[in-house]
Amino acid sequence: MDRSSLLQLIQEQQLDPENTGFIGADTFTGLVHSHELPLDPAKLDMLVALAQSNERGQVCYQELVDLVSDTISSKRSSSFKRAIANGQRALPQDGLLDEPGLGVYKRFVRYVAYEILPREVDRHWYFYRHRSCPPPVFMASVTLAQIIVFLCYGARLNKWVLQTYHPEYMKSPLVYHPGHRARAWRFLTYMFMHVGLEQLGFNALLQLMIGVPLEMVHGLLRISLLYLAGVLAGSLTVSITDMRAPVVGGSGGVYALCSAHLANVVMNWAGMRCPYKLLRMVLALVCMSSEVGRAVWLRFSPPLPASGPQPSFMAHLAGAVVGVSMGLTILRSYEERLRDQCGWWVVLLAYGTFLLFAIFWNIFAYDLLGAHIPPPP
C-alpha cells in the first residue's frame, strides 16, 4: 500500500469527516491492524506507538501516511527521523537481547546491531529488516585480494617482512610511486600491496572486525564509497605533503572506516550497548597510534639500507580525516537518504574541492617547485 492509496482509504472510510487533518490514535491503530500492510510486526509496533504518543489522542494522518510510506520503502526519510526524535512514544521496552530461540546467524545479526547502532529503535529496524542476501562481499573480497597479492609477491621475492626493501618490489604496477603519477590507477591499486606481514595482518583484521559489520548495516555502496574515498585521499595527500615518497597498503581505507566508527561511538556514547566499550576504544586508539608510529619510523629511520624513500605515513592521517568527515555523516544516516541531508552535500563539495586541487597539484606543482623525486623503478 503506497501513500496515495492509504490517504484514499482514510478519506473513503470517513475517518476524518470534518476534514481537520487529524484522526484518533485508536482509529489509526485499528486501521493499521485491519488492513494488510507489508510490514514486520516490530515495524507495526513502532507505527502504533508513534500514533499513541500524542497527548490529545489525535495524530496528523498526513504525517502518519508519510511514516507508513517511509516504513514500506527501503530508505527512511526525515519524517520518520523527526517522529522518532520528537514523539514521546511508548515503544516496547524489551530489547533484542531478550529475543529467545535465535539461530547462530540471527544471534550474529543481533550482535552486529548492538555493535554498530546507537538506538534501540534502529536496532529493531535493522534486526527485522536484515536479509542475508546479498552478503557483505566488498570487505571480504578486498581482504582476500590483498592476501592473495601479498602471498604472490612474498613467494616471488622470498621475503615476507619489510618487502619494500627488496629492489624488485617497487617495480610492481600496483604501487603508487611519485615517478609514475601519470598512471592514475596506482592512486587506488596501492591498497593491494603491503610493507609486510605485520601491516597486512593489522589491516585485514580491522577490515573484517569493523568493515564487515559496517557493511552489513550500512550496505555495500556506502561502505565501499567510504573505503575507496579514504584510499584515494591517502595517495593524493602523500603526493601533496610527502612528494618523494611512495605509498603501499590499504591503511587509508582502514583508517577511514575505523575513525568513522570510533567517532560515531563517542558521539552516541550513552546509546551504544556494545560491551566493554571504553576498554575497546582505548585498545583501538593504542593500536591505530602504534601503527602510525611504526609507519613514521619506517619512513624517517629505515632499519635497512634502501634504494629510495620508504612509504609515507600520511595516508593513515588522510584516511582518518575522511572517516571523521564523510564517514561520520554516513554512519549517522542509517537507513536515511543521504541526498536529503545538507551536511552530506557539504562533505561532498569539500572532498570534490580537495580532488580538484590534488589533480592540479600533481599536474603542475612538481615541475614548478622543482621537486627532486627518486627515479621510477
Active site residues: 251, 316
CA proximity to 253, closest of 318, 205, 307:
318
CA proximity to 334, closest of 217, 221, 220:
217
Q: Is the distance from CB of 91 to CB of 121 less than 8 angstroms?
A: yes
- Which phi and psi angles does 337 have, rounded to 5°? -75, 120
Which regions of the chain does DSSP assign to beta strands (E)? 22-24, 58-60
- Cell 485499528 sits on residue: 30
Number of other residues whose CB lies within 10 A of the CB of residue 208: 14
CA proximity to 243, closest of 373, 375, 367:
373
Contacts of residue 135, defined as CB under 8 A and 6 or more positions apart, other chains included, come to none
First to last CA, the chain: 63
